[in-house]
Chain A
Amino acid sequence: MNIVVCVKYVPDAQSERAFREQDKTVDRDAVDGLLSEVDEYAVEEALKIVEASEGEVTVLTVGPAQAADAIKKALQMGADKGVHVCDDAIHGSDAAATSLVLAEAIKKATDGSPELVLMGMTSTDGVMGVVPAMVAERLGMPQVTFASELTIEGGSLRARRDGDAASDTIEASLPALVSVTDQINEPRYPSFKGIMAAKKKPVEQWTLADLGVDAGAVGIDAAWTKVIDVAKRPPRAQGTIVKDEGDGGTKLAEFLAAGKFL
C-alpha cells in the first residue's frame, strides 16, 4: 500500500517563539524549526505498515523553504520520497486553506487515488487538530482521528481511539485518512544508513500553480479568522501553598483531583 504522510515543520518548542510584528504570524526565521513531534508517530506508523507489506511512503509538507528539513528528517527515518509545496502566497494560511493545498497535493502525488493518508493528531505549534478532518472531507474519505492503534486488513482498517472514559475500536473502509496520537508507537531514530540514504531520495517542489490552486483562495487575506493581537503569557503566579493542619494529604489529593491529575 502506498501511504502519504502529511508532516509539518514547526518552531522548536525548546526555543523562545515570537510573532511577526506586521501580520501576527509566527516568526519562522527567528527560531530553529523541526519536524512536528507528533508527526514522527505518523511517519513511524507508515513505515511499519509498508515494512510489513509493501509500498512506498511519501511525505508531504506545505511550508516555507526551511520546511524541507521536516521532509529530510522523515526521509532519514526511512520514507521513500518527499513532496514540498512551497509558495509565498501560502504564507499566513488558516487551517481551511492549508487543508485545500494538502488535499490537492495528495491527489497530485497519488494520481488522484490515494490509498491511505496519515497525519499527526495535531501540530505542536498551532494545536488545532482540525486539518486532518478537513483534508479527509476534501478528499471524500472516511476520517479516523486520534488513533492510538492501527491495523490494516484487506480493504479496511481498524483503529483504537482512547477517550477519558472508554476506548473504542473503529473500522473504516480504505482509502481513508487517519490521524495518530503519540501513543501509537515509538518513533525510530534515523540510523546512519538512513541519514546517508536520504541524501539521494527524490523530493519534488510544487507551487500553487502546479496544483491548480488559485492563490486568492489561500494565504493571510483569504483566512476566515485573523489574529488581532498577541501577548506574552504573564509570568507564572505563585503556586498554592497547602498548609497541613492534619488534613494536608486530603487537601493535596483534592488539588490534584481538581486538576485532573488523579
Chain B
Amino acid sequence: MLTDEEKAIRDTVRRVCDDVVEPNIVQWYESGDLPARELAREFGALGLLGMHLEGYGCAGMSAVDYGLACVELEASDSGIRSLVSVQGSLAMFAIWRFGTEEHKQEWLPRMAAGEAIGCFGLTEPDHGSDPSSMRTRARRDGTDWVLTGRKMWITNGSIADVAVVWANAGEENGGIRGFVVPTSTPGFSAPKISHKLSLRASVTSELVLDEVRLPAEAILPEVTGLKGPLSCLSEARYGILWGALGAARSSLETARRYTTERTQFGKPLAAFQLTQAKLAHMSTELQLGLLLALHLGRLKDSLGLRPEQVSVGKYNNVTKSIEICRTSRTLLGANGISGEFPIMRHANNLESVLTYEGTAEMHALVIGQALTGVQAFR
C-alpha cells in the first residue's frame, strides 16, 4: 500500500523518535517541560516542519508522507506531534497560504529549519468551539494595526518567535483577519499554562495582547473571515486523524506484548478469550482507521478533501484511538496506570486531542450538517 519512499520516510521519523524522543519522553511528561527548541532544530534538519508545503525551504512532501510522519511522532507522544502540527499545519501553513511574499521570505525558511517557532492563536478564554464570536480586536490607527485581547490554550505560545493571531478587524475590514505578530512586539506576552494533566510534554500558553501595535504589512492579505483559520485547522486536523492512530498503535502493541508475558490462573493473559476479543477488536479498529487515513491522504494528494471528509477522519480516528488506549489500559491491570508503560500517557494525551482542532461533538455536527443540510450547532 505504501511506496518505497513512503516507507523510507516513515522509518526515518521512527528512528529519530527512537533516538531523541523515546529515551526522554517520560521525564518530559512528568516534569511538564521539554527542550522544544532543540527538538525543533532536530526535526527541522530532517525536513519535518512544514514538510507538506512547497518552496521556502520546505520539503514539499505529499499528504500521505505527512500523515505517516504524524503517526510515528504521536506513537512517541501526542505532545511531540502537536509541536510539529502547530508549527507546520497552523503557523507555517497560514503564512504560506495567506501571507505576503515578505512574510514568507522572512519566516518560512527559518521555521522549516526549526530556528524559529510559530504558534496559532484562535481560541479565547470565552470562545472555543465558536470562534466567530471572538473578542480580540484589531483596530486601525493611521496605517498601523493595534491588537487587543486574549487567546487561550495556545500550543507553543511561550516559546514562539512568531504568532499568527486571528482578530476581529470590524465589518469594514473584512471581519476576522489574521496577523503575523513577532512575539518580541511590545504589548505581547505569553504566560505558560501549568497544571495540565494531559499533553504535558507540550507547551500550552495564554497570549495576552495589550495594545500590540503592528505595521500595516502585518495583516495576512489573502483571506477574510472565519474561512482563514478554518482552512488552517483543516490542514492540522488532517495530520491528527493519522497521528492519533500512532498513540493507539503504541498502546495496543504494549498490551499485546504484556498479555503474552503476564501469567494469571496458570496461563498467559493472552490465552483468555476475553483478552483476545479485546485485542482483535482493537486491532481491527486500528487497521480500519489506518485505511481511512490512507484513503483520505490519497484523496488529498489527488482531488483534495472537503472539510466534512476531514471531520469524518478526525471524529472516527480520535474516538477510536482513545477507546483503544482505554481498553489496552485494562489489559495491563494496575500496571496500566503506571508511568513505566506509555498507555496512560497516551490516553491522557488523547483527551486533549479529542478536544482541540474541533471537539468530537463539533465534528459530529459538521458531518450531521453534510448529511441533512441542517446546521445544528448554532
Residues of A within 8 A of B (CB): 72-73, 76, 189-193, 195-196, 199
Contact = CB atoms under 8 A, between A and B. Distances in A.
A189 B12 CA distance: 6
A189 B8 CA distance: 10
Contacts of A190: 8, 12
B306 interface: no
A192 B4 contact: no
Given A189-B15, A189-B16, A193-B47, A199 B5 contact: yes
Contact of A76 (B8, B60, B61): B8
B5 A191 contact: no
B45 A196 contact: no
Contacts of B5: 195-196, 199
Interface of B: 4-5, 8-9, 12, 15-16, 45-48, 51, 59-61, 65
Contacts of B59: 191-193, 196
B271 to A, nearest CB: 22
Nearest to B65: A192
A33 B51 CA distance: 28
28 contacts: A72-B4, A72-B8, A76-B8, A189-B12, A189-B15, A189-B16, A189-B46, A190-B8, A190-B12, A191-B12, A191-B47, A192-B9, A192-B12, A192-B46, A192-B47, A192-B48, A192-B51, A192-B59, A192-B61, A192-B65, A193-B47, A193-B59, A195-B5, A195-B8, A195-B9, A196-B59, A196-B60, A196-B61
A65 to B, nearest CB: 14
Contacts of B16: 189
Question: When A and B form their complex, which 5 residue pairs have the shortest distance between CB atoms, in order from nearest?
Answer: A192-B47, A192-B59, A195-B8, A191-B47, A189-B12
A119 B11 CA distance: 24
A193 B46 CA distance: 8
Chain A, interface SS category: helix
Contacts of B51: 192
A198 B247 CA distance: 31
Nearest to A192: B47
Given A193-B47, A195-B5, A196-B5, 13 more contacts: A189-B12, A189-B16, A189-B46, A190-B12, A191-B12, A191-B45, A191-B46, A191-B47, A192-B47, A192-B48, A192-B61, A193-B59, A195-B9
Nearest to A72: B4
Contacts of B4: 72
A191 B8 CA distance: 10
Nearest to A76: B8
A163 B48 CA distance: 40
Which of B4, B8, B15, B65 has most chain A Cβ within 10 Å? Answer: B8
Nearest to B69: A192
B13 to A, nearest CB: 9
B66 to A, nearest CB: 10
A76 B47 CA distance: 13
B153 to A, nearest CB: 30
A199 B3 CA distance: 12
Nearest to A69: B4
A191 B13 CA distance: 9
Contacts of A189: 12, 15-16, 46
A73 B51 CA distance: 20
Contacts of A192: 9, 12, 46-48, 51, 59, 61, 65
Which of A72, A192, A199 has most chain B Cβ within 10 Å? Answer: A192
A189 B72 CA distance: 15
B323 to A, nearest CB: 30
Contacts of A196: 5, 59-61
Which of B12, B45, B48, B60 has most chain A Cβ within 10 Å? Answer: B12
A68 to B, nearest CB: 10
Nearest to B45: A191
A192 B9 CA distance: 7
A191 B49 CA distance: 12
Contact of A195 (B12, B15, B48): B12
A190 B60 CA distance: 15
